[in-house]
Amino acid sequence: MAEVQESGQDGESQPQPQPQPVAIEGRTMMVLYGSETGNAEEIAMELVKMARRLHFQTVVDEMDSFKLTDLLRYSVVIFVTSTTGQGDMPRNTTKFWRNLLREKLSKTNCLAPVNFAIFGLGDSSYPKFNWAARKLRVRLLQLGASEFFKQGEADERHDDGIDSIFVPWYQELRTTLSTRHPLPGNIKPLSDDTQLPPVYTLRLASTMFTFSASGSPSTAVGSDAGDAPETPSPPTAEELEELAARFERTKTKAAVHTHIENPRSHVLNVVAAAERSRDGTFPPFMARRDDVWENLHNRRVDSLDKDNIITDHPEKYLLHKPHRTVSSLPPEDMLAIPGSYVARLMYNERQTPDDHWQDVRQLTFGIEPRRRPPIITAGTTLVIYPKNYPEDVQSLIDMMGWQEVAEKPLDFTHSVASAMTALSLTTRPKHLYLKERAGKGTLRDLLTHNFDITAIPKRNFVRELMFFTTEDLETTRLRELSSYGSEQEFYDYTSRPRRTILELLRDFPGVKIPFSRVMDMFPIIRGREFSICNGEDMITANEGGIAIVSILVALVKYKTIIRKPREGLCSRYLRHLAPESLVRVQLKPPTSSTLHTDELSARRPLIAVATGTGIAPIRALIQDRDQFAEPGRTLLFFGCRNEKADYFYHDEWPNMHNVEVIPAFSRDPMTPMERCKLPHSSELGYMLLPALKYDEGKNYVQNQIRKHALKVGEMLRENPLVVICGSSGLMPASVRSALQDVLVKTSVVRTHWQAKKWLNEPQNVTIWQETW
């Protein structure tokens, strides 16, 4: 748990004394977040900064780090949570949520003293939009807590992203807090132009730091974190050799097999609509897709495309020249990641032809079991931590003038006052895992392994830079860019061209961040999750208990509107990861338990819809079902661009039991006859759902579903599993519309409204969506 106390200094001299937050008795705030990929955590941190400026003493951490009774100790409690799975709470809230649901609390009013507000993050292409935040709210109210400020619900589908809802919510919350908790005497809130003391500080290690005779540090790696319950011990040379031999023996048994590192999509146009909350007290902040609006503003978008790519023609995606020469690759050192496994890369194989615009790789890893073999089921993800390239790290060191300190061992500390007052504090952010055998590590280590220096900068980062430049023009520009109200300008400068932190720093040469502030400034590299695409028997059948898992990765390399080629951090890392490389990986169970792979579930019909690398988890599921004697009928709709280029695994399906595949090749020319066979809105008469407007005449999965309505309708009557995986643009909503059309067309129900309801009833159908 990171307690944010106030301190006067961080050991570095500041150019000017800054006004400081004041500790006021009884003025306390707790910010709890639930987050899978860091969005909610980022929002929580922004709220903490606001609270500190209003002189609240604040603690912030993931929900699972708190006990329920902790809630009672703070004057204000703010929850920030995303929704994951199929309307589920994020994984780092499981313990907290379970406690909150305890039966014996139900009639106790035990949270009566708690004053709370909630900000939810979701994606309206999922039917259970923002359910985690909503469930949380209902339960807190049931237990007697008071909601002092309306709930905010952001939608990732919104064109302007989370900010479109967060910014107005944040501003109103700040006003409400100031009114409800007036400051005593002549204490004034600190303005956004006030630099706050850091929470975490880096210092050069004192001479007390020693290495043991074996070369490993005398202090266990991560021992000061307090948050690393299961720090793995590094494998010895003999163990590695034995591992290598075992991988070699089992290599041939590996199957080839997914997921995508996907730039956030902004293809959908969404309008924000404030809705009255049920009890009518005040409207929640919400952003939702507005189908009517979408109809009116029919954009020609392809669910496989992203709008940061210049146009819609494959040849324009081609990046003939590599955008950089790879002078040297990231080092192989592994991080001490709790609960992780050592994995050896066995194959890194391109699945698309060389002349295809997109490089899709199948990477196959052998995972060494720890005490027990890992449990892997369909829907399990493999988490990989990418690294920065040495040339980028050096470029940052040079720009910031850190050459003198880059190779020196470091100490992690709190700001002075917090170290003295709070014993349970961690001295570095939660997910900052140090390099194995690195002792205290160096700044170069941190920049290589831990900080995402090529991420798109967030507003907070840009605002903080203002304090580290002596150039007035730069200060003005940074203030303008990051101020609330400049969201569009900020988006145009950062997200739209996908400008990186490094590039931003090059634009502001006067900025010199003191190295002590690195932990407070830079975002941490988070593990990227990839769905495992092979079934259980392949995973567990190997001698030596080595689990062989494959992922299918679309390496993201694209031109942006500023015509600079870009490559995602993880894509670049994986592109050059050579077979035999050892990496530390984590395995994450599916976020939802909906996807059962037992015999009974395997007998149910399966309607699977995948686009692109979304085929990964579906392939795993189909392979799992295939183990049983009589798997239910499977109808797989697979959408890709070209039959010859990205029709993944097409040769496998004929060997599977009871599997029929209906492909949709969106970019292959269709004969006039084929085009005629696609459903058309006028011919369907009743079909006025918005999805048809943009996809009319296109060979997309949703139209294939409509085309095969009788077959799909028949299966829908048999309590099937419906699995939808792939891009998160319009595809999921369009597929649901197509299913509604089928239900009406095949007379399962009479109206689309009934069809929508029908699809939400678990006794009719189990729907599992994983889109990214």
Ligand X SMILES: Cc1cc2nc3c(=O)[nH]c(=O)nc-3n(C[C@H](O)[C@H](O)[C@H](O)COP(=O)(O)O)c2cc1C
Q: Say how far apart CA 120 and CA 124 lie, in whole Å.
A: 12
Residues 6 or more apart whose Cβ sits within 8 Å of residue 759: 127, 736, 739, 740, 743, 765, 767
Q: How far is the CB of 179 from ligand X (least distance, A)?
A: 29
Q: Examine residue 589 and tell whether it contacts ligand X (CB under 6 A).
A: no
Pairing of strands 410-414, 200-204: antiparallel
Nearest approach in angstroms of CB 131 to ligand X is 6
CA distances from 340 to 84, 233, 586, 632, 705 (A): 22, 10, 5, 35, 41
Q: How far is CA 226 from the centre of its chain?
A: 25
Contact status: 39 vs ligand X (CB under 6 A): yes
Query: How many residues bind ligand X, per CB under 6 A?
Result: 25
**Touching ligand X, residues 77-96 (CB under 6 A):** 82-87, 90
129 contributes a contact to ligand X by CB under 6 A: yes
Query: Do residues 627 and 689 touch, judged by C-beta distance below 8 A?
Result: no
36 binds ligand X (CB under 6 A): yes
Q: Do residues 136 and 168 lie in contact, with contact meaning Cβ atoms separated by under 8 Å?
A: no
Per DSSP (E only), the strands in 282-370 are 285-288, 341-350, 359-367
Record the tokens describing residue 37, joined without a space: 């990929």
Beta carbons of 629 and 744 less than 8 angstroms apart: no
Q: How many residues does the chain have?
A: 772
Partners of residue 726 on adjacent β-strands: 771
State the nearest-atom distance from the C-beta of 527 to ligand X, in Å: 12
Q: Report the residue number whose CB is nearest to ligand X.
A: 122
126 binds ligand X (CB under 6 A): yes
Q: Which stretch binds ligand X (CB under 6 A): 102-110, 119-127, 398-406, 462-470?
A: 119-127
Three-class SS of residue 641? coil
Residues forming a β-bridge with 61 = 32
Quick note: the x/- pattern for ligand X over 419-448, rule CB under 6 A, is ------------------------------
Nearer to ligand X among residue 56 and residue 126 (C-beta): 126
Separation of alpha carbons 626 and 175, rounded Å: 58
Amino acid at 592: S
Output the smallest distance, CB 455 to ligand X, in A. Answer: 13
Using CA of residue 645, residue 648, residue 654, residue 659, what is the dihedral sign? negative
CB-nearer residue toward ligand X: 10 or 770: 770
Enter the tokens of residue 91.
């994984």
> Is 122 one of the binding residues for ligand X (CB under 6 A)?
yes
User: CB-wise, 536 or 770, nearer to ligand X?
Assistant: 770
Under rule CB under 6 A, residue 418 binds ligand X: no
Least gap, CB of 37 to ligand X (angstroms): 3
Fill in the amino acid letter for 75: S
CA distance 609 to 618: 8
Nearer to ligand X, 262 or 352 (CB): 262
Nearer to ligand X, 302 or 529 (CB): 529
| Options 20, 35, 231, 550; binder of ligand X; rule CB under 6 A | 35
Q: Does 123 bind ligand X (CB under 6 A)?
A: yes
Least Å from the CB of residue 48 to ligand X: 15
**Please, what is the minimum distance in Å from the beta carbon of residue 156 to ligand X?**
5
Question: What is the enclosing helix (H) or strand (E) of 574?
Answer: helix 569-575
Task: Confirm or reject binding of residue 713 to ligand X (CB under 6 A).
Answer: no
Residue closer to ligand X by CB (options 92, 448) is: 92
DSSP 423: T
Q: Confirm or reject binding of residue 770 to ligand X (CB under 6 A).
A: yes
CB 274 → ligand X: shortest distance, Å?
Answer: 18
Binding mask 152-191 for ligand X (x = CB under 6 A): ----x-----------------------------------
CB-CB contact of 606 with 635 (8 Å): yes
Q: Which is nearer to ligand X, 134 or 463 (CB)?
A: 134
Q: State the nearest-atom distance from the C-beta of 728 to ligand X, in Å.
A: 8
The tokens describing 274, both together, are 């404030």
Q: Report the residue number, 291 or 503, with the smaller CB distance to ligand X.
A: 291
Stretch that binds ligand X, among 29-37, 106-114, 170-178, 456-464 (CB under 6 A): 29-37
CA–CA separation, 130 vs 136, rounded Å? 10
Give the orientation angle of helix 731-745 with respect to helix 752-759, to 10 degrees. Answer: 110
Q: How far is the CB of 362 from ligand X (least distance, A)?
A: 21
Q: Under the criterion CB under 6 A, does residue 595 sit at the interface with ligand X?
A: no
Please say which residue, 41 or 624, places its beta carbon nearer to ligand X. 41
CB of 11 to ligand X, least distance (A): 32
Residue 37 engages ligand X in binding (rule: CB under 6 A)? yes
Q: Which of 130, 340, 594, 727 binds ligand X (CB under 6 A)?
A: 130
Q: How much of the chain is helix, strand and coil, in % rounded to 5?
A: 35, 20, 50
Q: What is the 3-state secondary structure (H, E, C) of 311-328?
A: CCCHHHHCCCCCCCCCCC
User: Of 591 and 634, which CB lies nearer to ligand X in the complex structure?
Assistant: 591
Question: Shortest approach of ligand X to residue 205 CB, angstroms?
Answer: 33
User: Which position among 22, 24, 38, 642 is part of the footprint of ligand X (CB under 6 A)?
Assistant: 38
Nearer to ligand X, 34 or 374 (CB): 34
Closer residue to ligand X, CB minimum distance, 117 or 548: 117
SS (H, E, C) 496-526: CCCCCHHHHHHHCCCECCCHHHHHHHCCECC
CB burial readout 123-149, b (16+ within 10 A) else e:
bbbbbbbbbbbbbbbebbebbebebbb
Please give the Cα distance from 151 to 668 (Å, whole number).
46
Contact between 531 and ligand X per CB under 6 A: no
Query: By the criterion CB under 6 A, which residues form the site for ligand X?
Result: 35-40, 82-87, 90, 121-123, 126, 128-131, 156, 591, 770, 772
